[in-house]
Amino acid sequence: MGARFETEKTMKCPICKHGETTAGAATVTLEPGGLTLVVKAVPAQVCDNCGEVYVDEQATAQLLEEAAAAARAGTEINVRHFQTASSS
């Protein structure tokens, strides 16, 4: 209740200034300090013109957390799917 999901929204792409973004999924690669973490199916807005990907703040925070945890675990390369927080 009260949670707001903004993935339905479209916006004008600030990169190419022509395309509009639509909700989709992206593959994000994070490389903090020698670690390579590839996360698939990250919810994101994708520009229909230039293909630029915009990951929302919440997903970005989660990705950074996962990268930090993987780095602590000594992981060098890891490919995973984005874990969507299940609403209860």
d(C-alpha 21, C-alpha 8), whole Å: 10
Task: Report the nearest approach of Zn ion to the CB of residue 16 (Å).
Answer: 3
| Cβ neighbours of residue 88 closer than 8 Å, sequence gap 6 or more | none
Between CA 11 and CA 22, with CA 16 as vertex, the angle to 5 degrees is 30
Nearer Cβ to Zn ion (16/77): 16
Chain residues 44-73 in contact with Zn ion, contact rule CB under 5 A = 47, 49-50, 52
DSSP letters along 46-81, please?
EETTT--EEE-HHHHHHHHHHHHHHHHTT-SEEEEE
Shortest Å, Cβ 13 to Zn ion? 3
- Smallest separation, CB 77 to Zn ion (Å): 30
The 2-21 contact track toward Zn ion, x by CB under 5 A, reads: -----------x-xx--x--
Which residues make up the interface to Zn ion (CB under 5 A)?
Answer: 13, 15-16, 19, 47, 49-50, 52
